[in-house]
A and B are shown apart, each in its own frame.
Chain A
Amino acid sequence: MKRIFFLGLCCLATAFSYAGGYRVSLQGQRSLAMGHTGVAVVNNAELAFFNPAGLVYLENKINVAAGVSPVFSNVVWQNEEFGQMARTDSPVGTPFYAYFSYKLSDRFSLGFAAYTPYGSSVEWPTDWAGSHLVNNIELQTIYVQALASFKITDNLSIGGGPIYVNGKVNFNRNLNRSLTDLEGNRANVTVDASGVNAFGWSAGLMYSPTDSLRIGVNYRSLVKMKAEGGTADFQNVPNSPLTPFHDTTFDAELPMPAELSVGISYQLDEKWLFAFDYNRTFWSTYESLDIDFADPNIPDSKNPRNYKNSSIYRFGFQYTADETFTLRAGYYFDQSPVRSGYFAPETPRNSSNNFTGGLSINVSDRVAIDAAFLYSRFEEINESYDYYQENQQNVPFEGTYKSSAFVPGLGVTIKI
C-alpha cells in the first residue's frame, strides 16, 4: 500500500471555485428597469457606473442615486440515473449602489461611486451529491470609485477614474466524494479570505451627434483579486498520516473580468426613450482557479474553468407618463461564459433571457423613488463538470439544472 494511493484518493482538487454568473448586473434601478442599459442614457447619477462621461450632462449641481436589489435566486439539480435531487437554499443577496456627482463647472463634474458588480451566494444542502465541488459559497466585492467627467465639446465628453476593490470569500466543500472520519462524517474544507484589496479603473466616452441621439462607450478594467494568507480549515479529516490535511493558509487569485460596453439611445419624443447596449465581458482571463496551500503536505488544487468571453444584448425603453410617473421596461439576453463540460454547481448559470420593468415616482422636484424588477429565465439544461479528478482520472459531475432568479429593487434619486 502506497501513501500516494491515499493522496490520490483524498487530494482532490481542493477547489474553491466560483461560477459562471458571478457578475451581478444590478447597478441602478432606472437602468435595470430598461434592461440594464445605460451607457448612452443620461438619466441620473447611475451614470457614474454606466458611463462616467455622461455625468457632466446632468442638469443639477448635486446628483445622488442609491439603491439595493435583494436577489432571490435558486437552483434545482437532479440526476435521473441515481435518483438524486438537490435544491439550493441560498441566502438573499443584497447588491447595492450609491452614486454621487457634483458639478464644478459647466464643463467639469466630479463624482464618487460605490457598487457591487461581482458576487455570489449559493448554498446547497451539506453533503449533497455535488458536495465534493461545493457545499456553499459566499463571494462579495465592493467597488469604490472616484470620478471625473469632462465636456470636450458641447456634444462630446469623457469621464472615468480609479477603482478600489475590497472583497471577501468564504467557501466550503467536501474533500472528495467519499472520505469520512471514523464516525462517518464527511471530510471537508472551508477556505476563507477577507480584506482582499485590488485596484482597477474605468473610462467612458459619450457623443451626441444630434439632440435626440446619444452614443456611449465605457470600459472597466480587469481587477485581479489576490487572496493571500487566507485560512483553510479542514474538518472531519480521518486521524491518519495518510490524509495529511491540517489547517493552513492559502493563496489564490480570482479575476473580476474587464467589461466593454457600447450603447446608443434615442429620444423619440418628449415621452419615449429607446436604448440599446452591448456588453462584452472578457471572461477568458478566468482559465483556472488554483489554490496554493501553504502546508507543503497538502497538494495544491487546480480547477480548470476555461471561461470564454461573452456578450450581453440589452434593450430598454422609457415612457414618461406625466410629471410624477416614469415607466420603464426592458429585455436582455445574457450569454453564459461557461463552456460545455465546465458547468460547475457553484453558480450554475446557462444563457438566460431576462425581463425587466420598473418605474420612478417623483415625490418632489428633488426626490424620486425608483423601483425595478428583474426576472431571469433560464432554460433547463443537461450539463456536467468534467474536470474533477479522483485517482488521476476525471470524474464528471452531471445532471439537469434549472435556475431561477427574481430581483425586486428599490432606489432613490436626489437632485439638488
Chain B
Amino acid sequence: MKKYILLSGLLALGLVSCEPELRNSIEEQDFYTSGTADFSHYVALGNSLTAGYADGALYISGQMNSYPSILAQKFALVQETDEFTQPLVSDNFGGLLYNGNPIKETRYVLSVGADGPMPVRLSKTPTTEVTNRLEGSFGNMGVPGAKSFHLIAPGYGNMQAVAAEMANPYFARFASSDNTTVLADALAQNPTFFTLWIGNNDVLNYATSGGAGIYQKNNTDFTTYGENDITDPNAFAYVYDQIVSKLAGEDGANADGVLIGIPQVSSIPFFNLVPPNPIPLDAQTVAALNAKFGAYNTQILPGLVQAGVITQAEADSRKISFTAGEGNFVTIVDEDLTALASILMGEPFNLDAQTAGLLSQLRQANSTDLIPLTSASFIGTTVNGNPLLVNGVSVPLADQYVLTFEEQQDIVEATTAYNAAIKSIADAYELGYVDSGELLNQLNSGGIAFDGGTLTSTFVTGGAFSLDGVHLTPRGYALLANKIIAEINTTYNAEVPKANVGEYPTVTLDQNL
C-alpha cells in the first residue's frame, strides 16, 4: 500500500507543478512600490495631448495609447487601483457628428499616391455622435481644444452651446451636466493622483493660426479673448494655481500628482516641415518679378529712409529679390512693419491704392520665419486662376500663413512665463514637474534612441509625431509616459515600471480609396 501512497503523492506534486510560479512574481503585492504616492484613483486633466488625440482626430486606438492610459496600466501593477476609464469615441475613423452633421474631420492616414506617401484625411464618415452624452465619470478628462481657463469655465460642455461653437463638443460628450466644469467633474471623483498638462493651446492656437490673434498681455478677462489669442501669463498662473489648489491643496482633494510643462511650439514638425523658401522659379519669371519690384527696392525704400519714415535696417529687411532656381523666400505681409500705404499714396511716390496696399507691410520671409504646415497647400496657388497673381510670390502671404520672428518671440515669452508658473506651483504643492519641452528638444536634435531605432521629430518618418505634425504617435506618448514615470519615481520614491516604447505603434498606413 505504501507504494501507492508514494505514487499518488508524486502525482499530486506533478499536478501542482503544472502552473509554474516565479520566485519573485510581479503579480505579488509589493513587488513594485508606490512610494509616498497613492495611485488608487488616477485622473488625468489636459487637452488633446492628454485625450490621446493624434493624426488630426480623436479615435479609439489613439485613446487606448494615450499617455494617461499607459500610466494607468503601469499604476495597476504597483498597487490596487480603480479601473481607469476613458470617454472612448465610437470608431477608429475620428471626427464628430452633432445631430448627424459632421463637425470634426476624420483622422489623417498615410496614403500612397502618385507623389508618394502623403497624409490625407481618411475618407470615411464619422460615427461619433456628440449628443449621445456618455454616462459615468472618466479618468481621462483630456478635452481636445481646451485652454487653461476652460477647465474652470462653467458651460464648457453645454450641449446646446456646441451648435453655436460656444462650447466644446468633446467635453459635451461626457460632461456630467451642461453647466459643470472639467475640474468639477474631475474633483467629483475624489482623485488620489492626477496629471495636469494644460496651457499648450493658450499659445498653440496663436501659433498654428500663423499669429492671427492677439497677445492678451495684462488682460485677465478671458471672456474678451479670441480663439487664436495668447493667454496673459499672469492670468494663466492664477488659473493654473486655482486648478492645482483644488486638486492638490489641503482644502481640495489633496491628491498627489505631476504637472507637465509646455513645449515651445517651434519644436513641433507642424512648423518645421515647410521651409520659408519653398519657391522654385525659372529665369523668365525671375526677370519679370525683379523688374516688378525693382523700383520698390531701388527707389521707394531708399526714399523712405531718406524721409526718415523707416530705418535703413527696416528698408533692408523689406527688399524683394528672386533668383532662378529653388529656394526663393515667400513674400509676406508683416504686421510688425511700418504701415506705409498712406505715405506711398502721397508725395512723392503717388502710388495707386492697390499698389500702395501691396507694398504697405511687404517683405520677403527669412530663415527666422516659420511656415505652418497648413500653408503648404496654399503657397504657389493663384488668385482666381491668374498666373500673375501667385500666392507667396506676387501676392504676399497674409498674417495667418506665416509665423514671423516677432510673433514667435511673443510665444516664447508667454510659454517661458507659463512654465515658470507651472514649475513654481509644482514646488509649492510638492508635486512632480515634467519638462516636456526638454523631450521635444531631444527629438529635434539627434532623437531619442530606443531598442528598435531612434525616435525623432521628423515628420512621418521620425516616428514620434503623428500625421498632423502637432500631436504625438502612441510611441511618442509612450516616451512621454516614461518621462512622467521617471519623475514620479523620483518625487514619490516609487518604483513604477516603464513602458516598452518599441511596442507602441507609429504612424498608421492606410490606402485611402
Contacts and interface: CB of A to CB of B under 8 A. Distances in A.
B61 interface: yes
Contacts, number: 135
Contact of A239 (B11, B27, B500, B511): B511
Contacts of A5: 461
Nearest to A400: B22
A95 B84 CA distance: 45
B109 interface: yes
Interface string B3-47: 100010011011101111111011100011000000000000000
Contacts of A1: 116-117, 460-461
B347 to A, nearest CB: 56
Contacts of A243: 509
A177 B10 contact: no
Interface string A351-369: 0000101010000000000
B20 A402 contact: yes
A45 interface: no
Query: Which of A75, A184, A404 counts the most B-chain CB atoms under 10 A from its CB?
Result: A184
B506 to A, nearest CB: 7
B423 interface: no
A84 B502 contact: no
Interface in A240-292: 240-243
A395 B502 CA distance: 9
B20 A404 contact: yes
B64 interface: yes
B499 interface: yes
B443 to A, nearest CB: 17
A359 B7 CA distance: 10
A77 to B, nearest CB: 9
Contacts of B13: 375
Query: Which of A83, A179, A391 counts the most B-chain CB atoms under 10 A from its CB?
Result: A83
B280 interface: no
A2 B111 CA distance: 13
Contacts of A404: 17-20
B61 A375 contact: no
Contacts of A178: 474-475, 502-506
B406 interface: no
B112 interface: yes
Contacts of A78: 22, 25-26
B88 to A, nearest CB: 12
Query: Which of B7, B74, B77, B503 counts the most A-chain CB atoms under 10 A from its CB?
Result: B503
A76 B508 CA distance: 32
A327 interface: yes
Contact of B22 (A84, A242, A393, A402): A402
B497 A240 contact: no
A327 B3 contact: yes
Nearest to A402: B20
B499 A240 contact: no
20 contacts: A1-B116, A1-B117, A5-B461, A74-B18, A81-B498, A82-B499, A83-B77, A84-B500, A85-B25, A178-B475, A178-B502, A180-B61, A182-B92, A238-B508, A239-B510, A241-B112, A357-B10, A375-B14, A380-B22, A402-B21
